[in-house]
Structure formats: C-alpha cells, structure tokens
Amino acid sequence: MHGAEGIIAGKAPIGALPQHLTRGIGAGLAAMAAQWLSLALWDHALDFQVIWLSGPLLLALLLCSPYKYWMAYGVGWILGMLSLSLLMGLPAKGIATINLAVALLITLAAWTLSHLRREQATGNFLQLLLFLVVAVVALPIATGVVISAMSSLVELPSWLSREWWHVGLADSLGYVLLTPAILSLLNPGSSLRRDTLPGWNMPLITVAALVLLWLAWRELGGIATIRPLLLLAPVPLALFVALRAQVVGACVVNLVVGLMAIELSLSHQGPFVQPESEFTTISVQLWMLAVSIASLYLAALVEQRRTTQRDLMVTSTEVRELAGRLIVAQEEERARIARDLHDDINQRLAVASIRLSALRRKVDDCNKQDVSQLQSDLIALSEDVRHLSHDLHPSMLTQTGLTAALAGMCQNLRRRGGPSIELLVSPHAKDLPEDVALCLYRVTQEGLGNALRHADAQRIEVALQMAHHQVQLTITDNGKGFVTEGEGRRGLGLMSIDERTKLLGGSCRLQSTLGKGTELCIRIPLEALGPA
C-alpha cells in the first residue's frame, strides 16, 4: 500500500531512487570506459574516428531494461561522456549538445526496436534484420547527419567535424559489434546461457588462432599476391566461434579481430594498407562491417537451431512424462477393474452357481440336465472372468515374483490351445525392481498376444537374461511376420511397448521378415543389483 500511495502522490517508492542512481552511475562509468577505448583506437594521423562504442553500449542498456530506467541510463550516459570530455580538455558546450542529441536518437531507436521486436535478443533472422535496419543503418545515418549539421553551430573536435558518412561508419561498426553481444549475454532466453558453457579447449583454440592471425597479417600482409587469402583467414575462426559460442562469441571475436586490423593498419602493416591512408582506415571499417554482419547471421542461425532443438527436447520430455502418467493411470484403472471383477462379479457368479446347484436338487429329472449345463456354463464364465482379472492386474507378480507370473501366463496360454511356448528366465529376475518387473510382464503379455492374434505362430520363445547391469527380454516366434519399415505402421501395442521401455531408460528393437517370424528385444539398464 505504501508503494501505491507513493505513486499516487507523485513520489518515487522507497528504494526506487537508489536503483535509478546506481544504474545511472553504472551507465556513466561504462560510457566513460567505452568512449576511452573508442578514442584509443583513434587514427591520430588523419584525426579519424575508427569505431564508436559508447553509443552502442547505451542502446544495449535501454533494450535490456524497462522503460522506467531509461531516464537514469540516459542521464548517466550523458554525464559520463561529458565528464570524460572535460578531463580530456574537449569543448564542453559542443560535446554536451551533441551527446544530448545523440542520446535522444538512441532512445528513439531503442523505442522503435522495442515495439517492432517480440524479444530483446537477435537470435533469429527477422529480429536480426530489424536490428540491422534500425541500429546499424538508420541510427548511424541519422547520427552522422545531425552531427554534421550541428558542427557549424557549436564547437566540436575536428574528428566530429568530418563528413557525415565518416561518423556514421564508425557508429555503425560499433552497433554491429557491441550491441548484439550485450543483448544476447543479458537475455535470459539466450541459447548460450541455457546450454553448457564451452570447455577450456574452445578459448585456447581461439587465442592460438588469433595469435597466428596477428603474425600472418603483420609478417605477410605486404605481399600483394596473398592478400585476398589473408582477408579470408579469419573466416574459419568465425565459423568455429559462432558454432560454439553463438552471437556473444562471434561479436567478441569480430571485435578482437577488428582491433587487430585497426592497430596494424594504423602502423601501416597488414593486408588493409592502401596507397592513401584515409582509404586504409575506410577499408578496415568496411571489411569489419561485412564480416561482422555475416558472422551475426551465421551465429543467429546456430542459435535458432539450438533453441529449436532445446524446445523439441523440452516437448519430448513433457510428452514422455505425460505418457508415463497415462501408463500409471492405466495400471491403476486396470487394478480397480480387476478388483471389481474378482471381488464382486466373480463372487456373484459363484453365488449363482451355488443357487443353481441347490435348484438342481429340487427340479425333476427331465430338467436336471439343463440346470447342470447352465451351471457348467456359469462356472466356465467365472473362470474366464478370473483369467480376465488376472490379465488386467497380475496379483501373482507381487505375490510370487516375475518368474512365477511369466510361467503362469505361458501356462494359461498353452491351456487355451495356444502354440508351444518356451520360457527361459534368469535366476536373478527375483531381484528386479517392481517397475522393471511390471514393464517386462506387460511387454511379454503384449508380445505373446501379438504372436497369437496376428502372427499365427506355432512356436514362441521367451528369454529373460541379466548381464552387465542390464536386463534383456527377447520374444521370438516363427509366425508369418510383417513389414516393419516403409509401408508398415506400428500399432498401439508396439507403441505402448516402446513407451514403457523408454520411460525406464531402455531401448526397444523389433525385427520381422515376411514368412520368417518376428523378434522383439528390449533392454533396460539397472542400478547396482549385485552380480548378474
């Protein structure tokens, strides 16, 4: 209630001011550091700004934060830029005016992007395209035009008084190198933050490749015949980093490679050196811009595929959990129906049989035969109900164990005029957990049922073996077989077998050939159960 009253009264809630102040100070210090790095990469010979990093930093902060903090970030950024300008002896009035105008343009771009995009990341092609159009093309052009127009009105440093496209190119390079990395790093849904971080070998390989690239550019950059090859040398590294570290890694490596190219070019070394110094700096900027955009698209493709794979895995896990709950619910319902059949229906049939036996003694001799036949039919019906109850919920499985339950199942099928069934069970089957034993029983029940109903098998072999901390169940018949691939389709029974096996971390293999029978084999891993 206190916070609501403060908002109604027009005052900031308690704790809001320290948060705004902290964010503003942090933005100011970060802007000073980014601007200092930008000026450190300044082409002193031509008084030329190569890359601008403080503006891209502000854009990333705005896109990653709620609207209520935008004012704090903007004011802190302007004060940080102004403080660094005063320390360096730059014209304060002109710098303050330019920073205010640029901050407004960046805020407008951030507002546009926040309304056009569904999320802050640049992890897919559409989001990346919108970012490139607004932040890498439109915003630098607008910034360059505004600064060029204001250079005649206020006093500015000479490197800000050049043609608008010089300023825009330096700004564009900063936006394509720094902002996507910060957005991807701070985005909670980023693939890099959800996946396992790359191992130690990835940064080691990257550093070694960067060192080799530096040496190759410095020592061989003056050879005209291999300059095209040297310009393509960073491409394998960019592919490797984009595949392993997505957008963040691609931006960091591109920034490092770009800094190497700038430093070598400023000292007139490397493959970018042109007859005229101004063209050398421009060629480095254009090359960095092209490589960075291509790397971003590759990283976005990788991140999009990683996100899709992760979503599919989550969906598969949810479906598997749902299948597990359905199987548990099915077993519970089977147990309930089995109890009803055994405790209610079968008991009522038994009472009816007893009454028929008493009635037979009262009827005359000509009707006794009919009553006896009716009693026999009722007893047979009671036996069928008992078998049905047992099939629905094998009480023998919990009372006498898996071996006896499987033996009872095979014996009942033989009594009903079924095929010859050979059962081989490992003596260690008694040590199996209840869920594993129930799965093996249900798989055997389904496998034997399929062999009887569809295969017309005359001989069936059921083998249960345990070895190397796993249990293997194999059901083989000499029936007519069926097509397992191509036009063949799995029925609900086989799908149930597969789901039951996978829920326990096992695997299912089905082999069948027309006219040569069928083999069903499942393997389920086990915890330590002692020697098998």
Q: For residue 225, what is the DSSP state?
A: G
pLDDT digits (tens, 9 = 90+) for 175-198: 998 888 888 877 766 655 556 566
522 touches 507 (CB < 8 A): yes
Residue 484's pLDDT is: 62
Q: Supply the pTM of this predicted model.
A: 0.62
Residue 12's pLDDT is: 47
Q: What angle do CA 499, 502, 505 make, to 5 degrees?
A: 160
Q: What's the CA gap between 218 and 271, in Å, rounded?
A: 8
Alpha carbon distance, N-terminus to C-terminus of the chain = 67
Residue 160's pLDDT is: 65
- How confident is the prediction along the chain (532 residues), in pLDDT tens digits per residue? 333 334 333 444 545 568 889 999 999 999 999 988 888 776 555 556 778 889 999 999 999 889 999 999 999 999 999 998 888 887 878 888 888 999 999 999 999 998 886 554 555 677 888 889 999 999 999 998 988 888 777 777 766 666 777 788 889 989 998 888 888 877 766 655 556 566 778 889 999 999 999 999 989 988 888 888 888 888 888 888 888 877 788 888 888 888 888 788 878 888 888 777 667 778 888 888 888 888 888 888 887 787 778 778 888 777 777 777 777 777 777 777 777 777 778 788 888 888 877 887 777 777 778 778 887 888 888 877 777 776 676 766 777 788 888 888 888 777 766 678 888 888 888 778 888 888 888 888 888 888 887 777 788 899 998 877 889 999 988 888 776 654 445 567 777 888 888 888 888 888 887 878 888 899 998 874 444 3
Residues 6 or more apart whose CB falls under 8 angstroms from that of 375 comprise 353, 356, 357, 360
Residue 371's pLDDT is: 79
Residue 192's pLDDT is: 57
Q: Where is 214: in which H helix or E strand?
A: helix 201-220
Query: Which of 444, 441, 425, 424 lies closest to 433 in space, CA to CA?
Result: 441
526 touches 469 (CB < 8 A): yes
Residue 479's pLDDT is: 82
Residue 42's pLDDT is: 66
> Rounded to 10 degrees, what is the CA torsion of 280, 281, 287, 289?
-170
Query: Which of 182, 192, 185 lies closest to 56 in space, CA to CA?
Result: 182
How far CA 6 is from CA of 1, 13, 15, 23, 26, in Å, comes to 9, 5, 12, 21, 26
Residues 6 or more apart whose CB falls under 8 angstroms from that of 516 comprise 478, 481
Q: How many residues does the chain have?
A: 532
35 touches 54 (CB < 8 A): yes
Residue holding tokens 């092209």?
290
Query: Which of 407, 399, 470 lies closest to 444 in space, CA to CA?
Result: 407
Residue 529's pLDDT is: 44
Q: What's the CA gap between 72 and 529, in Å, rounded?
A: 63
Mapped onto helix, strand or coil, the DSSP state of residue 199 is: coil
Q: What's the CA gap between 240 and 233, in Å, rounded?
A: 12
Residue 15's pLDDT is: 53
Q: What's the CA gap between 63 and 520, in Å, rounded?
A: 56
% the chain with pLDDT above 90: 15
Residues 6 or more apart whose CB falls under 8 angstroms from that of 525 comprise 469, 470, 504, 505, 506
- HSE-CB for 189 with a 13 A CA cutoff: 12
CA 460 to centroid of chain Cα atoms: 44
Residue 485's pLDDT is: 58
Residues 6 or more apart whose CB falls under 8 angstroms from that of 252 comprise 181, 241, 245
Residue 515's pLDDT is: 77
Query: Which of 398, 467, 461, 457 lies closest to 427 in space, CA to CA?
Result: 467
